[in-house]
Amino acid sequence: MRRILVPTDFSDQARNAFEVAVAIARQTGAAIKLLHVVEMPYSYSFSATGDLVGGNGMEQVYMMKLLENTKYRMAELERSVEHDGVEVVQEVDADNVIRKIRRVINDDKVDLVVMGSKGASGMDEFLIGSNTEKVVRTAECPVLTVKGPIPNLQIRNIVLPSDFKREIGTAVEKFKYFQQMFGAKLHLVYINTPGAFESSSNLRARMQKAAERYGLQNFTINVYNDTIEEDGILHFAEEIGADLVMMATHGRTGLSHLLSGSIAEDLVNHSDIPVLTFHLK
> Per residue in 177-236, pLDDT tens?
999 999 999 999 999 999 888 899 999 999 999 999 999 999 999 999 999 989 999 999
Residue 175 in any domain: the answer is: yes
Looking at the structure, tell me whether residues 124 and 180 fall in a common domain: no
Last residue of a domain, one of 119, 146, 173: 146
Same domain, 54 and 121: yes
Residue 252 has pLDDT above 60, yes or no: no
Flag whether 124 is in a domain.
yes
Domain final position from 127, 146, 165 = 146
Same domain? 172 vs 86: no
Rounded Cα–Cα distance for residues 51 and 266 (Å): 41
Q: Answer yes or no: do 117 and 12 share one domain.
A: yes
Using pLDDT thresholds of 50, 70 and 90, give the confidence band for residue 35.
very high
Are both 59 and 167 inside the same structural domain?
Answer: no
In a domain, 96, yes or no: yes
Look at residue 253 and tell me whether its pLDDT is greater than 60.
no
112-116 vs 143-146, strand pairing mode = parallel
Q: Check which CATH number belongs to the domain holding 167 and give it.
A: 3.40.50.620
pLDDT of residue 125: 33
Q: How confident is the model at residue 121 (pLDDT cuts 50, 70, 90)?
A: very low
- Same-domain check for residues 140 and 10: yes
Residue 166: its pLDDT value, please? Answer: 63
- Greatest Cα pair distance, the chain, in angstroms, is 72
pLDDT at position 16 is 94
Considering only CA atoms, which of 8, 149, 131 is closest in space to residue 74? 8
State the alpha helices, DSSP H only, in 40-130: 57-80, 97-107, 122-127
Q: Cα torsion for 277, 249, 257, 259, to the nearest 10°? A: -120
One domain for residues 33 and 121: yes
76 and 47 in one domain? yes
234 with 141, same domain: the answer is no
Q: What pLDDT was estimated at residue 179?
A: 96
Cα of 67 vs its chain's centroid, Å:
26
Q: What angle do CA 190, 195, 196 make, to 5 degrees?
A: 40
Q: Do 73 and 128 sit in the same domain of this protein?
A: yes
Whether residue 132 is found in the same domain as residue 166: no
Q: How do residues 148-181 score in pLDDT, each as one tens digit? A: 889 889 999 999 998 887 667 778 888 999 999 9
72 domain-assigned: yes
- Comparing CA positions, the residue from 269, 176, 193, 178 lying closest to residue 229 is 193
Tell me the average pLDDT across 64-70: 82
Average the pLDDT over 263-279 and give the result. Answer: 85
For residue 259, being part of any structural domain is answered with no
Domain termination site, one of 102, 121, 146: 146
Count of structural domains, the chain: 2
pLDDT, position 140: 86
Q: What percent of the chain clears pLDDT 90, i.e. is strictly above it?
A: 53
Least confident interval from 50-54, 93-97, 237-241, 265-269: 50-54
> What is the pLDDT at residue 41?
56
In a domain, 209, yes or no: yes
Q: What is the pLDDT of residue 207?
A: 93
In a domain, 137, yes or no: yes
Domain containing residue 173: 157-242
pLDDT higher than threshold 50 for residue 129: no
Residue 114 CA to residue 5 CA, distance in Å, equals: 6
Give yes or no: residues 74 and 109 share one domain.
yes
**Cα–Cα distance between 174 and 171 in angstroms, integer?**
5
* Residue 85 domain-assigned (yes or no): yes
**Confidence category of residue 59, pLDDT binned at 50, 70, 90:** low
